[in-house]
Structure 1
């Protein structure tokens, strides 16, 4: 075998040499240097080279101590007399290759590596030793590094990892390995590789030429062994002896297929569940095991028997693949103390190739034991609806609730009402029988619907409390008369025409009859006989107020009253009498109001409610009574001669009919006191120390009057609902026979009567103005508004 390889090697060298010689003979090489005219002409005339050499080869990796002989350069011009000098230049000249300038012998002085550089290109020159002229044109030649098998194959991408499904058939491709050899692939077999497996041959094989790794067993089971380590070898020289080799590792992972059915570790399971467990809670967990992985191990569970269906349901936990048994109905130990049913587990994803291995399902029995707990009383109905009339008397029967202890002890139950749901205590309940009765009068217009919570507690264990909701609806009765929707303020123009619409009024009824409200409007007999206005019932719970005749005059009557009766359609029918006030106004031609006088006391009293008007009249008469007492006292004192008592503060009467009498004016009056009269009377009760000093006898005589005023002031201060009676300004006395014009707001014509015959009830407008000054002390556009809570 060695002899054959050596023969092939020599034959290859001879062929390569002949090829290079042919290429050299066919080349026309121009000289690089000119040595003279004759030599140049000679070179142009030559058609054949005179260089004599063979193609040069040198083996790589020469490790000898002496320079390695490569070859010899020779020119046929060289006669051997030493006149020719050989020169070498180019790649590696001098550094790697040397030449004997006399003989032309070339040697390699360094170790060469074909894998680093496969050939070297050099230039050769032959020069005359004496003239240093070229005797031969410069010529190129190649020194080729001859390859030897000095590099082993290498797996550049190793180590490798391959994956193949378990139970794959024989010959299934796993992975392809590739090795490289730096040696010359064009020369010999140094780079021709062959692959083989030197570890794991019983499970896998490799194609020698391609490096494809394939399976050799069909029953590889991932659940038995999921990983294999292979050693693959690549050897050059076509695997012959003496070739070099390299190895790599291949890790083969078996991927899972669904070839294993689920299996319950136990055939039966038992769990205990308290009967107080809430619906939708997990009461048990079971799990079937599957040797597969990932989606191949995903489970589906279902309940097979009626004892479990409807009462429980089962879901799969996506993270643990457990079967979660969930309660769907409330448990009751006294009714059913245990449940028994079967649960089936199956794979969610089924591989049809493995169905022949058997069913991919498993079944286990589940037994749930219900634990008894002390439960609160349970009402027969958690929500009860009761109806009662709002006119029912206190103590009337509303309804009855019933609860009982669901436990075997059957503890007695006591009832109560949660007062948070019935704060006003409209109802009460018998704690033994559960009968609900009214505790207060009911009014649907105040509260139409009651939502109360009834509690039932065990007598033996008061901490066990059940609850129920009782809804009580109040039936309406016709106990409210209809009234106007708002307080109407009506106006009529003086130039109104007969039959003219003044206003449309509407009414409301707090009751709610089943068929809706049907209200009727009419005038009283007295109102209809006045023939000033008329009413028209619109049959839609409204009425229109119309003029009966035209041409109203303010000076004849400022305010007209119209009494309207409003009736409902209840049984029995209820009605209310309401008074409408219609004020006569001065209007323009278009009917727009320009002026409406509202200063008359009757107008104000009509607009006020009866309770407010009564309060005002009471205050008026009280003040008038006090003024009368003061007047009588003053009359009595004016008939007596002046004494020291005349300096009493509240007895001084100021006359305005005196044009001035000099010093006589101050003889009977204390002018300082007179100037402070108004302030002193106002502040009498609050600042008694600032009153002017008066005789003790005068104080005794007027003690009754002072006490009367003081008591009234105290009552007014303490009573928040009473009008403010803080001051009294009297303008009734203007003097006797005054030549000056009246300073009083009273009409001067009414002031001509003697002060002894003065009528305090005359002139309602003036008196009401004084009353307004007394109570509210405000006047706006001739209309007094009383600043008091009663008004």
Structure 2
């Protein structure tokens, strides 16, 4: 490893010197080494070599304390620049460090300057030997692998040009000398001859890089180390061998000619790129050997098919004995044989077939979910694969769905079952045609036709059994007129015993009759009505009334049927209508009448609407589209309840009279109308009264009120009571009104007479004031509305508005006055007695 030289005076050299000083303080010194060198040394001059391992093995760091010298890993010392030794000796140290063991060592180097003449050999005067100048450079050299010797075998000689001036000793180091393999090479130190001691295996060591050294007797090295590369020439001593000992390839059967099967590869440890490793492949034998199906490319080792006749069902595995030979396949080349296995992949090229061409089986009638036959098939394709698993199909004879065929996953058999009962009386024998295929689709072989479906015939014989009565058909429909009275006979449900083809001996019972319309004759199954048949009953759906009937034979076997009574519609329901109507005056002045006829469409609309003569003065009735009519006011009516008698006829003249309760209200939608239930109850009996009846009632009430007031005033006059007025009714007067009731704002009024009787009977008050001329005295009326307490003064504006518009009817005023008059009458009577 090269070590960078340090320039004196640089930052790096200062840091290096500091590190060296630190290392010197903490390391142990090894033996001192003395070297004699010329007094003048040029840059990159070899100074000498030191054995570093004697001081510290596996040193990871080698440094020189003097930047003028560079130390290599093998202990060789070079100068970094020109040096002139002014004194006779120069000292420096080699610092060694092992980072793993945390160990440091130091070798002291002493350089001594001397004359060249001391190094010269003295010769006799009569003999002067001159050595030829040898070039110190690498000399090409090669060794033959597996050489037979004799050993030691001379392989090379090295000489240094410095031998002309010095006595030179030669040495070598590196792999094969002082490294693995040890002692393979050695050198004569005086002559520089290099010898090999034994044969070499190129596959183990293909070359050796050895360094040669030339040194003087005192350790001076006048030349750099000489690298010597000994290359080992290959000998064809290794036979090729197959890379994989057990090779298995697979290829589909019936594949085309030229299909690639796989590639074999071999290895030769001899030198690559030479004739020793040029391999050729060959098939020596095919097992079985006929016909020949495979070939191999001699250079690439790719195996391909040669015929399209590979049939797994005939032979599913082939073995090929292979040979691989080096030297380009020459007879003298080394070779190795091996065996590969080729397995054929299955294709669905064989159709399954039944082991029998026909089958016969039998089953009792009316049995279901029973296995009646198992059919076996054979298939030459690979078992337990989709290529051999069978799929069965019933091709003919199962039009009624009585049979089902499945595959047993364990045995691959076809299992034929009955899933719908068979009837011996209808069919005593059934012939089925059954086919079989595979789960996988067929593949066409190159040398054959596409497989086809295999079929077989199954004859199923139906065995007779006494299964009891049959209810055929399951649903029977009979017709009847709507409104049929009770006690009428109808045809019932009839069952049949298939054994006798008659109904004799059967008994009938009723299972379901929702509204108890019928009773059943136990022997004949006929029906008798218990109620009037009504098509409009809630139990009738789509004009049908259903009855469940069970027929039982002598041994208790039974069947159940349904009897549907289809009712013909009759015109027995007049049109009906909702009698509660609301007219919101703010939105419209009419109401729409929409009657409903429970009869069928033939007995329903168009409807005819007729208005009673008593209602003609207030109302008009306008027919609309034959199904509806519009009830309209002749003029704006007061907010009240009105009874409107009308008559509605259907298309055949069946009519019904209805009295409509029409609520005329101040609203925009019917839900906003504020007329209470009490008002409705009180108003309804009075709405239809004539005007003379209303006038007589008003006069009678006024007369009664006057008498009551007179009696009350006479009684109170006898008492000495201080006259007082309520605080909240001071200076109030009743407004003059010519209407028959309170104003429109008094909708839920409850007006009571004052509790202080003395205030009512003022001397300025006359009886005629109740006739509508006003009350001159001061009196107070309390009005309770919506739970609050109000005086008449707070309602004066509302009553005056009601007097002007006259929108409240007399019934409202009467509902206000009647309870109060009754209370005062009782109170007056009590006073008179006292």
Shared fold (TM-score greater than 0.5)? yes
Does 2:364 align with 1:364? no
Does structure 1 retain, via aligned residues, the 8 Å contact 2:363–2:462?
A: yes
Alpha-carbon shift at residue 253 of structure 1 (Å): 0.4
Measured in 1, the distance between the counterparts of 2:757 and 2:431 equals 123
> Match of 1:518?
606
> Match of 1:455?
549
> Match of 1:142?
229
Does 2:539 align with 1:430? no
Measured in 2, the distance between the counterparts of 1:402 and 1:460 equals 16
Structure-2 change in CA distance of 1:251 and 1:657 (3 Å): farther
- 1:85 counterpart (169, 179, 185): 169
Does structure 2 retain, via aligned residues, the 8 Å contact 1:58–1:143?
A: yes
- 1:121 counterpart (209, 225, 228): 209
> Match of 1:183?
270
> Match of 1:269?
359
> Match of 2:121?
none
Structure number with higher helix proportion: 1
Alpha-carbon shift at residue 331 of structure 1 (Å): 2.0
- The correspondence of residues 86-485 of structure 1 with structure 2, limited to 5 A, is 86-95=170-179, 96=182, 97-108=185-196, 112-129=200-217, 132-134=220-222, 139-166=226-253, 174-185=261-272, 189=276, 192=279, 195=282, 197=284, 200=287, 202=289, 209-213=299-303, 221-236=311-326, 245-277=335-367, 284-293=373-382, 294=385, 296-297=387-388, 331-345=422-436, 349=442, 351=444, 353-355=446-448, 360=452, 362-407=454-499, 412-419=505-512, 422-447=513-538, 448-449=540-541, 450-462=544-556, 464-485=557-578
> Match of 1:565?
646
Does the residue aligned with 1:405 lie in a helix, a strand or coil? Answer: coil
Measured in 1, the distance between the counterparts of 2:681 and 2:136 equals 157
Q: Which runs of 5+ in 1 are unaligned?
A: 1-29, 40-45, 494-499, 553-557, 609-654, 662-730, 751-762, 774-791
Does structure 1 retain, via aligned residues, the 8 Å contact 2:256–2:446?
A: no
Alpha-carbon shift at residue 247 of structure 1 (Å): 4.9
Does the residue aligned with 1:101 lie in a helix, a strand or coil? Answer: coil
Measured in 2, the distance between the counterparts of 1:404 and 1:253 equals 69
Structure-2 change in CA distance of 1:252 and 1:547 (3 Å): closer
Does the residue aligned with 1:424 lie in a helix, a strand or coil? Answer: coil
Measured in 1, the distance between the counterparts of 2:491 and 2:648 equals 35
> Match of 1:603?
683
Alpha-carbon shift at residue 370 of structure 1 (Å): 1.9
Structure-2 change in CA distance of 1:32 and 1:117 (3 Å): farther
Structure-2 change in CA distance of 1:108 and 1:398 (3 Å): farther
> Match of 2:733?
none
Structure number with higher strand proportion: 2
Query: TM-score, structure 2 length as denominator?
Result: 0.56
Measured in 2, the distance between the counterparts of 1:412 and 1:258 equals 63
Structure-2 change in CA distance of 1:598 and 1:272 (3 Å): closer
> Match of 1:538?
623
- The correspondence of residues 356-755 of structure 1 with structure 2, limited to 5 A, is 360=452, 362-407=454-499, 412-419=505-512, 422-447=513-538, 448-449=540-541, 450-462=544-556, 464-488=557-581, 501=589, 503-514=591-602, 516-525=604-613, 527=614, 532-539=617-624, 540-545=626-631, 563-569=644-650, 571=652, 573-578=654-659, 580=661, 603-605=683-685
Does the residue aligned with 2:270 lie in a helix, a strand or coil? Answer: coil
Alpha-carbon shift at residue 566 of structure 1 (Å): 0.9
Alpha-carbon shift at residue 470 of structure 1 (Å): 2.7
Does structure 2 retain, via aligned residues, the 8 Å contact 1:196–1:233?
A: yes
Does structure 2 retain, via aligned residues, the 8 Å contact 1:233–1:247?
A: yes
Alpha-carbon shift at residue 393 of structure 1 (Å): 0.6
Measured in 2, the distance between the counterparts of 1:739 and 1:84 equals 167
Measured in 2, the distance between the counterparts of 1:150 and 1:600 equals 131
User: Which deviates more from structure 2 when the two are superposed, residues 592-601 or residues 386-395?
Assistant: 592-601
Query: What do the CA deviations read for 1:453-500 (whole angstroms, capped 9, x no partner)?
Result: 4233332332x332222333433433334444232356999xxxxxx9
Measured in 2, the distance between the counterparts of 1:72 and 1:560 equals 145
- 2:143 counterpart (58, 64, 69): 58
Measured in 2, the distance between the counterparts of 1:240 and 1:380 equals 96
Query: What do the CA deviations read for 1:616-662 (whole angstroms, capped 9, x no partner)?
Result: xxxxxxxxxxxxxxxxxxxxxxxxxxxxxxxxxxxxxxx9999699x
Alpha-carbon shift at residue 86 of structure 1 (Å): 1.5
Does structure 2 retain, via aligned residues, the 8 Å contact 1:197–1:231?
A: yes
CA-atom RMSD, angstroms?
5.6
Alpha-carbon shift at residue 138 of structure 1 (Å): 5.5
Does structure 2 retain, via aligned residues, the 8 Å contact 1:285–1:324?
A: yes
Measured in 2, the distance between the counterparts of 1:536 and 1:253 equals 101
Does the residue aligned with 2:315 lie in a helix, a strand or coil? Answer: coil
Structure-2 change in CA distance of 1:345 and 1:446 (3 Å): closer
Alpha-carbon shift at residue 333 of structure 1 (Å): 1.2
Matched pairs, number: 577
Query: What do the CA deviations read for 1:268-323 (whole angstroms, capped 9, x no partner)?
Result: 222333432559x9865534322024565476766676x56666787775968765
Alpha-carbon shift at residue 163 of structure 1 (Å): 1.9
